[in-house]
């Protein structure tokens, strides 16, 4: 259990409208994902840390892919052309030609595209993920799902980072 309020979205967002609270929660986990990469070299970011090959940079690539899928594609917006097939788990690993900068920039673009959808649509807006046979979901459901997805993988990143260099924690010590 975390007892510190450091890293929380701030008092004003704790009482904001539902959409703002959900978006702030997602952003907090997104920021932790990027924070877990700080100070590591390319080898450490790519180092497989589990028998399945999970590594920090692969998790960022995956999160970018699912942000595009759930927020952008599901709500009928244009997704940038992907150089990999996310339906065959190619989004979980990075190849030697995929630089750290490329993956982080990809995540930034996916976040920005998702943020546009979140800003423009109401929480009850219906979307239809093509990979789910067009079953309707609301933006609210997608926001909650992506908070869960991002938090889950941020937790994986907590463990991987601790195994790499001993750094631990769920937020910056300075409260950013």
Helix extents (H) in the chain: 11-14, 18-35, 42-46, 56-67, 100-120, 139-165
- Residue 10: exposed, middle, or buried by beta-carbon count in 10 A (0-12, 13-18, 19+)? exposed
How would you class 87 by CB atoms within 10 Å of its CB: exposed for 0-12, middle for 13-18, buried for 19 or more?
A: exposed
7-11, 79-83, 119-123: the lowest-pLDDT one: 7-11
pLDDT for residue 2: 42
Give me Rg for the CA atoms of the chain: 16
Which of 61-75, 77-91, 151-165 is the least confident region? 77-91
Q: Which residue has the higher pLDDT, 42 or 12?
A: 42
130 falls in which pLDDT band (50, 70, 90)?
Answer: confident
DSSP assignment of 107-156 equals HHHHHHHHHHHHHHS-TT-EE--GGGTT--EEHHHHHHHHHHHHHHHHHH
What was the pLDDT predicted at 12?
55
Residue 125 burial (C-beta neighbours within 10 Å; 0-12, 13-18, 19+): middle
The pLDDT score that the predictor gives to residue 11 is 55
* Structure confidence at residue 169 (pLDDT): 85
pTM for this predicted structure: 0.89
127 forms beta bridges with 137
Whether residue 10 is predicted with pLDDT greater than 60 in this model: the reply is no
Quick check: 147 and 25 in contact, CB under 8 A?
yes
> Distance from CA of residue 35 to its chain's centroid?
12
Read off the pLDDT band of 82 (50, 70, 90).
Answer: very high
Per-residue pLDDT tens over the stretch 41-66? 999 999 999 999 999 999 999 999 99
Cα gap 173→7, rounded to integer Å: 8
Give percent of the chain above pLDDT 90. 80
Give the integer Cα–Cα distance in Å for 169 and 176.
13
Q: Is the pLDDT of residue 132 over 70?
A: yes
């Amino acid at each position: 259990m975390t007892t510190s309020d450091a890293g929380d979205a701030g008092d004003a967002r704790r009482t904001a409208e539902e959409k703002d609270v959900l978006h702030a929660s997602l952003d907090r986990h997104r920021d932790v994902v990027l924070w877990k990469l700080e100070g590591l070299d390319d080898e450490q970011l790519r180092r497989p840390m589990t028998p399945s090959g999970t590594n920090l940079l692969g998790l960022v690539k995956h999160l970018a892919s699912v942000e595009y899928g759930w927020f952008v594609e599901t709500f009928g917006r244009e997704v940038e052309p992907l150089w990999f097939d996310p339906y065959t788990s190619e989004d979980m690993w990075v190849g030697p030609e995929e630089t750290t900068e490329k993956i982080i920039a990809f995540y930034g673009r996916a976040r920005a595209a998702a943020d546009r959808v979140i800003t423009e649509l109401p929480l009850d807006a219906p979307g239809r993920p093509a990979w789910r046979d067009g079953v309707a979901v609301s933006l609210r459901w997608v926001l909650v799902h992506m908070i869960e997805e991002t938090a889950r993988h941020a937790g994986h990143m907590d463990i991987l980072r601790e195994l790499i260099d001993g750094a631990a924690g769920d937020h910056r010590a300075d409260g950013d």
